[in-house]
Structure formats: C-alpha cells, structure tokens
Amino acid sequence: MQTHEIRRRFLDHFVKAGHVEVPSASLILDDPNLLFVNAGMVQFKPYFLGQQTPPYSCATSVQKCVRTGDIEEVGKTTRHNTFFQMAGNFSFGDYFKEGAITLAWELITKPQEEGGYGFDPERIWVTAYEQDPEAAEIWKRVAGIPDERIQFRDGKDNYWDMGVPGPGGPCSEIYYDRGPEHGKDGGPVVDEDRFLEIWNLVFMQDERGELSPKAGHPPVGELPKKNIDTGMGVERVALLLQGVENVYETDLVRPVIEKAEELTGSRYHVGNHDNDVRFRVIADHARTAAMLIADGVNPGNDGRGYVLRRLLRRIVRSARLLGATKPVMSEFMTIVCEMMAPSYPELESGFSRIERVAVGEESAFLRTLDTGSRLFETAVDDARSAGKSVLSGSEAFALHDTYGFPIDLTLEMASEAGLSVDEEGFRSLMAEQRQRAKADAHARKQAHADHTVYKELLDEHPTEFTGYTELNSEARVLGLVHAGQRVPHAAAGQEIEVILDRSPLYAESGGQLADTGHITAAGLRLAVKDVQKIGKKLWIHKAIVEEGEVTEGADVLAQVDPDWRRGATQGHSGTHLVHAALRQVLGPNAVQAGSLNKPGYLRFDFSWQGGLSDAVRREIEEVTNEAVLADFPVNTFETDLPRARSMGALALFGENYGDRVRVVEMGGPFSMELCAGTHVGSTSHVGPVSILGESSVGSGVRRVEAYVGLDSYRYLARERALLEGVATALKTSPEEVPARVEALVERLKAAEKELEKHRSAALMSSAGTLAAAAERIGGIRLVAQAAPEGVSANDLRVLAADVRGRLGSEPAVVALLSTVEGKVPFVIAANDAAQQLGVKAGDLVRAAAPAVNGRGGGKADMAQGSGTSAAGIETAPTEIRAAVAAAAR
C-alpha cells in the first residue's frame, strides 16, 4: 500500500466516524517553545489548554512534522526521520479512552479490501502507563488482546506532556511484531526494533505543574474536559505495509537514495555501513529541506535558518563522500517534490523557489569547502613542521564550527595526508557547544502563553472589526484585564487592556503595525497605544486611562487616529505595489519573506540570491511609481481559499489561513494578494514611493526599504537640498556634480598612490638601519623591534624579509611589530641557518602572541599574527629573545 493511500485511508476512516478533516498546519507556527511543528496536536494547543473553545468536537489531520533533536545521529538508525507525517485524531471533551482505542483498532485490523490496513491482530502488542490499568482492561475488552501482549511502562515511556506546565496524560502505544528475524522476543520492553511502535494514544486528562509526571511527580489537578490526542506514524505504517526493512526503503524515500546512487556512483546496502548512513542522510534531509523551504524557511546562521543550512550542507558533504563530483541539489529537490507533491501540492507550485534556495546554499557551501580545504592544508603544514602526526581537536573544531568544514571530511583528508585527528578532543568541544546550546534553549523555553483569562470572552463575544469602513465606532466594553486578571474598572493613570465588542482599530498583523487612537465617553478618555489579537478574533486594546474611570459594560466610542491610519494604509498598499514590481522585474521567484509597514515607511523582505544592481533598483522604483500614477482602484473581496489561489492570489509562506480569505487586488493582474490589512482606495493615494536601499538580511533573503507619501516627498526634498549644497561647494550645477565628484576622487586616488610610494620607500630605507642594530643571542643575530605606527602586516612581511636578507648567511631572526587602528600586526622571519639550529618562525609567533593578546601561526621561515593589546609591543621583544635563546641552546 502506497504512502499517499495510507494517508487517505486514515482521514476517510475518521471523517466517516464524525471527525472534521483539518489541513496540516505550516511547519512554522508562532509558538514560544518550538522551532518547528513537531507533533500533530500543536495546532490544536489552544483547545487542549482550554484557552479557546474548538469549533468542532472531533478532528483529524495528517500533520507534517520536523524534529531536529540531534541531527548528527540521523541515518545511524533505520526508523527515525527529521521530517515525518503524523496522522492524528483528536477529541475535545467528546469520546475518551474506549472511543480512541476502538477507532484505532478498527482501522489497523480492518481488511484492506474494506478500507482498513489489514494488520494481523495476533501480532499486535500494546503498552499502557503503569498507573493506568483501565486502558489495559479496555484493550482486552474491545480488541481481545491477551494479558501477555499488554505491557506496563513508567512515565518516561508512557506519560505525555509538553515539557512545560499545561495539559498531560497517560499514553497507550500500539506496536507490531515484525518477526524473529528482526530481534528478540518479549514485546516492546525487550526490543523496539522487532516490535515497532506505530501509534500513540494520549489520554489527556491531567494538568501538570512545574514538575512532570514523566519523572514521577503527581499532576496538580484534572482538566475540565478529558481530551484525546493520538498520533500514527505514517512512515512506520508504510514500512510495514510495504514489506520493507526500514523507513528509507518506503515508496517516497527510496527514490531519493536511488537518485543518490546515480549521482555518486556508490551503491546502497552492499555492506558499507558508513556509506549507508550517508545515503540515509541524503534521503532524510532532502525531504526535510524541501518541506522547510516550501513553508518559507531560508538558510541562515541562527534558529530555523541554521537548521535548514545544516541539513543542506550535510546533504552536500554526504554526496561528496559518496563520490559526487558535481552539484547534486537540483536533482534531489526535483525527485523529492515529484514524490511528495500528491499530498503536498505546494511543493509543485513552489518548486522553482525550493530549487533556487537549495542550489544557492549548495553553491555557497562548495565555496566554503574550498576555503576549508586551504585552511586544512595550512594546519597540516604546521603539524608537520612541528613534527606532529596528529591534528588537534581544537583545529578540527575550528574548521567545523567557524568555517563549516565537516569533521568526516577532516578525518578522511587527514588520513590521506598520513595524519590522525584528536577525535576525542573534537567530540569534547562539540559536547560543550551542544551543552551551551541546550542551556540557552532551556533559558528561552517558557510555558505556553496563558490566555485563559480571555477564554470566556473568546467563546461568547468575538470582536467585530469595523475599520475597513469607518474610523469611529460605537462599542461596549466587554472586559478589562490588568496584570493578567479580569478587573471591573480602571481609573486615571492606569494601564489597562480593553476588550470591545466592536472596534475600528486595526490589530497588528500581516506586517502592519496596530492603529493608535482613543476610547472615549462622557468624562472618559483612554489613549490606545497598541492593539493585538487573541485567537484571531478578540481585539485587545492596550491603553492608558487619561481621564475618568472605565468600567466593564460601559458604552464608549472607539476612534482611530486618522493621520496614523492614512499613513498606515499608504505604507501597506505601497508594500503590495513594491512586491508586484519586484515580481515584474525579477520574476515569480522573488517571493515575500516578511514585511513591516507603518505610516510613511515600508520594508519588504523577499527571497533572492545576490544583490540588486542600481539599474534594477531604479527599474523596480519606476514600475512601482507607474502603478501609483495609473491610479488603479484597490478592490477587496472575500472568497474561499481554493478559489483565491485559482485566481492567482499570493499567500504569505508560513501563514495559516481559514476557510474564508480576504483578497486585495490592485490593477487586476498587477497585484493580487491574500491580506487582512487596511489599504488606500486607489493606488494614487499611496503617493510617491522612494526606495531607500536594498540589502541582505540572511542567506537568500534581501530587503528593500522605502518611504511613501509625504515622507517620500520629504526624503526627496532632503536629497535635493543635499545635492544643491554639494553643487554650491563645488561651484558647479547639480547636473555636473557626478562628473566633478568623479574627477576629484580620481585625483585623490592618484595622490594617495603617490603618497604610498613615498611611504613605502621611506619604510624600506629603514631596513639597513634595523639590520645594523641587530643584537646577538647566542650564535644568532636578532632584530626584535617595533616598526612605525600604521605599518600594515603586508609591509611588515616585506620589511622583515629585506632585513633578514641584509643579515647574510649566518643564523638570523627578524621580528617586527606595529599598531594599525587598534590592532597589533606582527611578523617573524628566520633564515635557513637559524632553522637548522631549531629556531622556527611559527614557534616564535606563538611565543610572542600572548604579550599582545593575539594569536598567529605560519611556516618555519616566515610567520605572522595579530593582537589587540598595543601595550604588549614593549614586552613582546623580550618574549621573543627568551624563545630564541631557549630554541638555540
């Protein structure tokens, strides 16, 4: 049975049982505890937490998930993936243990010809929480599973919670016996390779405190309603139903391995364990990377972007180690998207971006590998010069951590060079880094934001947003919240959260900042500083009571600051115009990656490799302003999501849209986007758009910033005044300023070049003086002095070589230091005769470096370094003299 069919049967089974089918959420959700969605229940958290009342009593979904707890271990086992699909059914106070067990048992044992999975009931084992005998009794009664195939386990294995205070409950897991060829008998407590877990049923009934029942601590109470959260591993069920050995041989994963065999010339599963791991890394990471990019993640140096970067780089290095000599990423992304698109059509529609981002990161990493190879060669030379046969763990770690050079390549290349690597030292440094990362993650982890105080208001009184058609709305105060608690009233001077039944004030979302304004009544005035949404339907007005006393139930007038709103709509509509202009000039791959707009200003992030030329930037600005001049009407309408997509409306990556969406259209096909923001009536109201600049905000993501409306006019006026001021200073017309400035720059460059010649000549003329001042340390002539301030490292090298040459053939060492803009470059040169006595420049650099708080290295004849402490220039020559004396004994 194919994986797509396994998904379909699961959803059909639960829909027929009265569940509402809910689409998979994006892998990126606004959750303080998660980088990525890692379980099917994540999008339902507000319902399980009791913060919102669910719109249905039962739901089912197949959620795309990513878990990245220890990426380095992927591929070493054959049953874990970073990306996986979790099929789940959920009950919010409807059925409980018996209902969940019955529904699961029916699906897995029902014959395939009747729509089930057809698993042999005699090979099914279950586990239950050691303090939950009720679950075991239900399994015996409903499924007829005998006592010998029911095993009890402690909280570590069979209790679930989110890792923070909140809901939790005992679990019951379903396992399938794969047979004696896969391991020992005795059930899952003995061997979880033979007895493979395919389904976990969580009976969510408890509220946990700071300490988890998983570790033996009792819950602090019971939930108001008993809920069900189950998850079936789609890939694991596919493994069993397809009769293959592991998840990497299932129908959606094995084709990636076959493509890797084709591209590398190596073969999978022919007795080479290390190569098998590399094939599995490629297959796993290629799927995960494609899904993350499809949901809007871009490679970067922290957070989600760093995870994606690591995945892509591990693919490249694994392919290289398997024998690939050419780029591979395009081929891998193609096969992944072809295989997965039937269940995730966004992979097909977004393929060009997925491929471009992945290929761009591959190209960047290949350059990193080249740089790392050169640094590796330097480390090898240093080791050989020092008579060592082992590269230190710190050198291997620096190559890995600072330059992205993978340890397995370091090991392989060191072996080819006849050296070994201090792997224990490397692993120790890696462990320290992981520990720091875990500590940082733990410090940032927090309990899920508590919105319980708003639950009653969410259930009964959602806010009606009236701001699309009016700036002033009569409203009633539904609730007041202060310091997380409902209060009946608030007096002058207090900060308060005000919930209204109707509001014209826009709540921050979609990149548009919240409106400011006032809430007034007779003798009452509140200044609204911010507006946020809870549950997408309750407006929280954060305000200061300026006059009077506000009470719950009062009738008030909510007012938007008209100047703020005018500027905000200009900024938001201007963002849509810039987006459309970018796509017109650069093509459809210029996809939105984020935005911010406020009165008079906008910034727009988009996916793109490489900077934009001045000519392209001017073209984008011109296309944008042509749309302003065209005075396109701005039309908005609501429709369902499939209809909006079929019309070509653009959606923001990572955003979860409801069944009904709002479309904002400007100029027909020129711009059409899903957007809940406020906008101008026609594009001419945006006013002039002045692009301020374009820059990088991460790998594959660029940012355009612009002024609109009056702010744009003021910016242009300042630019004009500046140009006129420069023209006056140069005694020329504004039109002639560029040519005059260019001529002045050329004259300045020529003068600097001439000055540099004189400076270099003067510096080199000091070589004779320095050589003549050489002192003797044993049988070695030594020059150890500070050069004039401002001498660069390159000039120090040239000068040191010149002085060394002037000292003739007898043993000689030259050490020169300088200061340049707070740095202390230093160079040491030793001639052949000195080296024969055991004096090596690289060793002397390391001896001198601590005096100037620096580091350095190099070869035996010439080495250099840099420090940060200029005070050490006085003591460094003394350290060098001592090191020369010790080496020459």
Q: Of 396, 419, 444, which one is at a domain's C-terminal end?
A: 444
Give the CA angle between residues 127, 130, 133 to the nearest 5°.
80
Residue 655 has what pLDDT? 63
Tokens coding 662: 């709002």
| CA–CA distance, 673 with 664 (Å, rounded to integer) | 5
| CA–CA distance, 551 with 517 (Å, rounded to integer) | 19
| CA–CA distance, 630 with 623 (Å, rounded to integer) | 10
β-sheet bridge partners, residue 560: 517
Query: Tens digits of per-residue pLDDT, 495-548?
Result: 999 999 999 999 998 889 999 999 999 999 999 999 998 877 889 999 999 999
735 lies in a domain? no
323 lies in a domain? yes
Are residues 831 and 698 part of one domain?
Answer: no
Question: Is there a binding annotation on residue 576?
Answer: yes
753 lies in a domain? no
SS3 (DSSP) at 536:
coil
Residue 448 has what pLDDT? 45
Are residues 124 and 263 part of one domain?
Answer: no
Q: Do residues 421 and 410 lie in contact, with contact meaning Cβ atoms separated by under 8 Å?
A: yes
Q: What is the CATH number of the domain that holds 827?
A: 3.10.310.40
Q: What is the CATH number of the domain that holds 651?
A: 3.30.980.10
Are residues 263 and 134 part of one domain?
Answer: no
Burial of 184 (0-12, 13-18, 19+ CB in 10 A): exposed
| CA–CA distance, 311 with 282 (Å, rounded to integer) | 9
State which residues form the domain around 789: 771-887
Q: Which residues contact 864 (CB under 8 A, 6 or more apart)?
A: 793, 796, 797, 825, 826, 827, 828, 845, 856, 858
Are residues 876 and 840 part of one domain?
Answer: yes
Q: Do residues 697 and 707 lie in contact, with contact meaning Cβ atoms separated by under 8 Å?
A: no
Are residues 421 and 324 part of one domain?
Answer: yes
Residue corresponding to tokens 């050419």:
326
Tokens coding 41: 């229940």
Are residues 162 and 209 part of one domain?
Answer: yes
Question: Is there a binding annotation on residue 171?
Answer: no
* Sequence letter at residue 811: P
Number of domains in the chain: 5
749 lies in a domain? no
At how many degrees (to 10) do helices 273-294 and 329-340 cross?
Answer: 70
Are residues 423 and 326 part of one domain?
Answer: yes
Q: Which residues contact 272 (CB under 8 A, 6 or more apart)?
A: 266
Q: What is the CATH number of the domain that holds 511?
A: 2.40.30.130
471 lies in a domain? yes
Q: Of 515, 536, 560, which one is at a domain's C-terminal end?
A: 560
Are residues 158 and 72 part of one domain?
Answer: yes
Query: Tens digits of per-residue pLDDT, 279-329?
Result: 999 999 999 999 999 988 888 767 788 889 889 988 998 999 899 999 999
State how far the alpha carbon of 843 is from the alpha carbons of 786, 827, 860, in Å. Answer: 19, 12, 8
Are residues 432 and 463 part of one domain?
Answer: no
Residue 411 has what pLDDT? 81
Residue 635 has what pLDDT? 94
Q: Do residues 662 and 640 lie in contact, with contact meaning Cβ atoms separated by under 8 Å?
A: no
| CA–CA distance, 60 with 44 (Å, rounded to integer) | 11
| CA–CA distance, 94 with 77 (Å, rounded to integer) | 38
Phi and psi based region of residue 397 (left: phi greater than 0; alpha: psi -120 to 50; beta: remaining) = alpha
| CA–CA distance, 346 with 192 (Å, rounded to integer) | 35
Question: Is there a binding annotation on residue 285?
Answer: no
479 lies in a domain? yes
Residue 445 has what pLDDT? 43
Are residues 283 and 211 part of one domain?
Answer: no
712 lies in a domain? no
SS3 (DSSP) at 856:
strand
Q: Of 390, 422, 444, which one is at a domain's C-terminal end?
A: 444
The number of angstroms, rounded, from the C-alpha of 188 to the middle of its chain's C-alpha atoms is: 36
Low-confidence stretches of the chain (pLDDT < 50) are 441-448
Give the CA angle between residues 47, 52, 53 to the nearest 5°.
80
Q: What is the CATH number of the domain that holds 189?
A: 3.30.930.10
Residue 752 has what pLDDT? 82
Question: Is there a binding annotation on residue 679?
Answer: yes
Rg for the chain (alpha carbons), in Å? 34
Are residues 552 and 569 part of one domain?
Answer: no
Residue 775 has what pLDDT? 92
Please say whether the dihedral angle defined by the alpha carbons of residues 539, 544, 547 and 551, taken in this order, is positive or negative: positive
Q: Do residues 353 and 591 lie in contact, with contact meaning Cβ atoms separated by under 8 Å?
A: yes
The H-assigned helical ranges of 476-516 are: none
Are residues 228 and 284 part of one domain?
Answer: no
Which of 754, 879, 884, 887 lies closest to 817, judged by CA? Answer: 879
| pTM metric for this prediction | 0.66
Residue 699 has what pLDDT? 67
Q: Which residues contact 763 (CB under 8 A, 6 or more apart)?
A: 787, 788, 791, 795, 799
